[in-house]
Structure 1
Amino acid sequence: MKPYAPQPPVHGQLDENSSVGKYRQIREILRNHARTVCKPGYKLPPERELADLFGVARKTLRQAIDSLVEDQVLTRVVGVGTYIAHTKVDLQIRLNSYSEEMIRRGMVPDSHVLRFDEVPASGSLSRHMQIDEGAPVVRFRRLLLADGKPMSLDDNFLPSALVPGFVNGPPPISLYQSLNERYGLVLEWGEDQIESTAATPENAGLLQVDPGFPLLKITRYAFVGDGLVDYSVSVYRSDRYKLFVPLQRQGTRSPRYAQF
């Protein structure tokens, strides 16, 4: 199912005698509508139509919608419309595998392996991985799911010299765990580059979104010592992820983030 679909009409009437302001009444009507009538991804009627329904100015209606967007009940897509929000996974910047992170979140991870083979490094890939052009690399491409829903599309690249015979066996369920168990490679540190991107026709179909849909792109360089072991490019559905980045001033310690 496409993430954005037409939805049932909104029903509700304002109490003109109530001491509760109109925008708050509208907010609760829409909140109840989102929770009990619609599924995540369903589209709200246009603002003009809703303003006419409730007999209020669009400014009043927009105030109610803004409040629900802030509460993450609704989500806006610029130039497209307002939708019932999906519950977002709190994606922390950690050097964990996808399986480890989803299990930690109480979700059931799954993946569809799209490619698991050995290829020669292209010029671009060799620069990112700091290896010779044409050197063999393991390519591991997966569609990652949580509780049966598409979450991200991941491309991992590993120097074949570090993981001999890796592609001769079945694709790993958990990449980082497999690297540890089979090759003794425990990833120690990494760098993530985070940016926005738009869904291409190819990855839109896999992620079940429309072409041009906003995605979160994370490029990762993961190391053991000074050696790069995993170079990956992941694109996440922006309606199902939010980033959480703990910050700490150098030289101080906060017990709040001790678990991260």
Structure 2
Amino acid sequence: MAADRDRLDGPRTVLRPLVQACGRITNVSTSKFAFVRDALLERIDAMSPGEPMPAERSLAVELKVSRMTLRRALDDLVRHGVVVRRHGLGTFVAPAKVNPSLAITSFTDDMLRRGMRPSAHILADEVVLAGARLGRRLQVSPGERLLRVTQLRLADDLPMAIEVLATPIAVVPGLTGKDLENTSFYDLLQRHYGIVVTGGRQTIEPTVTDEDESRHLGVPLHSPAFLFERTSHDPSGRVVEFVRSVYRGDRYQIVTDLSHPDTVVDASDPDPGLATT
């Protein structure tokens, strides 16, 4: 379990401040409610992702509150992705959130690196014309033929993301969506076409799931999500893919290390203890 927490940022480190902040947003002012929620968070901090919570009756007795108050607190934690309810089984600590790598890496490689088992279900596989928008993204003419593959990405059989990949047929002649079910696109590019992806550009923004995305990801309609859009290129600068992915907001978080530019010390400074001017 400790290894799992090392590879994934789970509730032990991030959920308490997150939910405390969210609590202020929901404008819950009842002191008893806040006490119960904080007590539950303390317990969750000491638990592992996927571990079952005690029965509501025993928790209510332990905290000396009514089951109604306890249920309200649990409902709040469910809304914020701290715990999950499974029909007929009970309430469980939510799976640890994944920090997606910001390096050039495939979903398959990223999940394997975290000790998770990646898989994919091909939802659509078609040849389309690029059109104006995809043509601009892929730097090809609007009439260029593209392979467009829509996949449901899973890790340990849990739906994680909906991914739409578009790549020029001229780059990957003979490739089909079925080829991507058990391996990564980058691996296929390198092994079968001798193409190495060396760089790219990615944007990330918040969004909510539509009906199709909600159904495939197993989340309520308009659930919070992350929208990733990425173009990747080979050493010559040729764009080889455009990918649009919608990741579940309750399974992903974005973590960035920050530094202040004025605090960077010049390595040539004879006294690194003094700030440069």
* Range into which the TM-score falls when normalised by the shorter chain: 0.5 to 0.7
**Distance change in 2, residues 1:238/1:252 (3 Å):** farther
Secondary structure of the corresponding residue to residue 225 of structure 2: strand
Mapping of residues 40-55 of structure 1, within 5 Å: 53=66
Matched-pair contact (CA < 8 Å) for 2:122–2:178:
no
Q: Work out which of the residue numbers 24, 31, 37 in structure 1 matches 2:53.
A: 37
Residue by residue over 1:89-116, the C-alpha shift from the partner in whole angstroms, topping out at 9 and shown as x without a partner, is 1212121111100000010101101123
Residue by residue over 1:131-157, the C-alpha shift from the partner in whole angstroms, topping out at 9 and shown as x without a partner, is 111210111211000011000000111
Could you say which structure has the higher helix fraction? 2
Could you say which structure has the greater relative contact order, defined with CA pairs below 8 angstroms and 6 or more residues apart? Answer: 1
Write the letter of the residue equivalent to 1:137: L
Q: Work out which of the residue numbers 217, 227, 232 in structure 2 matches 1:222.
A: 232
Matched-pair contact (CA < 8 Å) for 1:116–1:171:
no
Secondary structure of the corresponding residue to residue 153 of structure 1: strand
Secondary structure of the corresponding residue to residue 162 of structure 1: coil
Matched-pair contact (CA < 8 Å) for 1:92–1:243:
no
Matched-pair contact (CA < 8 Å) for 2:149–2:177:
no
Mapping of residues 227-242 of structure 1, within 5 Å: 227-242=238-253
TM-score (norm 2): 0.63
**Distance change in 2, residues 1:51/1:222 (3 Å):** farther
Please name the residue that 2:26 is paired with: none
Residue by residue over 1:145-178, the C-alpha shift from the partner in whole angstroms, topping out at 9 and shown as x without a partner, is 0011000000111111111222397335211101
Q: How far apart are residue 232 of structure 1 and its match?
A: 0.4
Secondary structure of the corresponding residue to residue 132 of structure 1: coil
Matched-pair contact (CA < 8 Å) for 2:125–2:177:
no
Q: Work out which of the residue numbers 152, 162, 165 in structure 1 matches 2:171.
A: 162
Matched-pair contact (CA < 8 Å) for 2:122–2:177:
no
Q: How far apart are residue 73 of structure 1 and its match?
A: 4.0
1:152 aligns with 2:161: yes
1:117 aligns with 2:126: yes
Q: How far apart are residue 26 of structure 1 and its match?
A: 5.6
Write the letter of the residue equivalent to 1:176: Y
**Distance change in 2, residues 1:209/1:29 (3 Å):** closer
**Distance change in 2, residues 1:246/1:180 (3 Å):** farther
Q: How far apart are residue 215 of structure 1 and its match?
A: 0.9
1:143 aligns with 2:156: no
**Distance change in 2, residues 1:37/1:141 (3 Å):** same
Q: How far apart are residue 85 of structure 1 and its match?
A: 3.9
Matched-pair contact (CA < 8 Å) for 1:188–1:224:
yes
Structure 1 stretch 22-31 or stretch 218-227: which is displaced more? 22-31
Please list every run of 5 or more consecutive structure 1 residues that lacks an aligned counterpart in the other structure: 1-21, 40-49, 76-82, 254-260
How many Å separate the matches in 1 of 2:251 and 2:177? 34
Matched-pair contact (CA < 8 Å) for 1:93–1:244:
no
Please list every run of 5 or more consecutive structure 2 residues that lacks an aligned counterpart in the other structure: 1-31, 56-62, 85-91, 267-277
Moved >6 Å (runs of 4+):
22-25, 248-253
**Distance change in 2, residues 1:126/1:54 (3 Å):** same
Write the letter of the residue equivalent to 2:193: Y
Q: Work out which of the residue numbers 154, 171, 184 in structure 2 matches 1:174.
A: 184
TM-score (norm 1): 0.67
Matched-pair contact (CA < 8 Å) for 2:53–2:93:
no
Matched-pair contact (CA < 8 Å) for 1:90–1:244:
yes
Aligned CA RMSD, in angstroms, stands at 3.8
Q: Work out which of the residue numbers 108, 115, 127 in structure 2 matches 1:106.
A: 115
Please name the residue that 1:258 is paired with: none
Mapping of residues 190-205 of structure 1, within 5 Å: 190-205=200-215
Secondary structure of the corresponding residue to residue 244 of structure 2: strand
Q: Work out which of the residue numbers 39, 48, 52 in structure 2 matches 1:28.
A: 39
How many Å separate the matches in 2 of 1:209 and 1:168? 25
